[in-house]
């Protein structure tokens, strides 16, 4: 199982973002160096849906510019599942456009205890990543 480190504040920000956008899915991008995520980029979900997400293209470009400016690397994309388990849906798998990044899912199925898991998705294959929260 691959390994990725993420700082605790970013995990809390992802959970907060998911709760703020409920009942719609939230989404965003995660960047850092090596295998350590140190920066979050919250984006609008232009799909405005409770079971689908699409990152705002303008915010996505702005995030990539900031990632380049800070000499970071895109390490992850995140979104929430307001009503579903913490596992990639068939749509998530079809729309996994960054095979070299981790896909983080925040499930709000247990609303008071959001669950966060990460996966690698490439060519229809899903592999869970071990997360170290630092």
The encoded tokens of residue 57 equal 């293209």
Structural domain total, the chain: 1
Q: What is the mean pLDDT of residues 74-100?
A: 94
Pairing of strands 3-6, 125-133: parallel
Shortest CA distance to 47 belongs to which of 109, 99, 89?
A: 89
CA–CA gap between residue 25 and residue 54 (Å, rounded):
9
Domain residues for the domain of 46 are 3-133
Beta-strand ranges (E) seen in the chain are 3-6, 27-33, 36-43, 73-81, 102-107, 115-122, 125-133
Q: What is the pTM of this model?
A: 0.96
7-65 pLDDT, tens digit per residue, is: 999 999 999 999 999 999 999 999 999 999 999 999 999 998 899 999 999 999 999 99
Task: Yes or no: say if 91 and 105 are a contact pair by the CB < 8 Å rule.
Answer: no
CATH number of the domain encompassing residue 26: 3.40.140.10
Shortest CA distance to 104 belongs to which of 15, 8, 1?
A: 15
């Amino acid at each position: 199982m691959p390994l990725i480190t993420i700082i605790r504040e970013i995990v809390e920000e992802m959970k907060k973002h998911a709760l703020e956008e409920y009942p719609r899915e939230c989404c965003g991008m995660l960047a850092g160096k090596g295998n350590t995520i140190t920066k979050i980029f919250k984006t609008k979900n232009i799909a405005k849906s409770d079971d689908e997400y699409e990152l705002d293209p303008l915010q996505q470009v702005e995030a990539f510019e900031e990632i380049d400016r800070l000499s970071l690397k895109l390490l992850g994309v995140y979104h929430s599942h307001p009503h579903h388990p913490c596992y990639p849906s068939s749509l998530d798998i079809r729309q996994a456009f960054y095979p070299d990044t981790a896909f983080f899912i925040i499930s709000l199925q247990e609303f008071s205890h959001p669950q966060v898991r990460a996966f690698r998705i490439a060519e229809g294959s899903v592999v869970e990543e071990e997360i170290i929260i630092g």
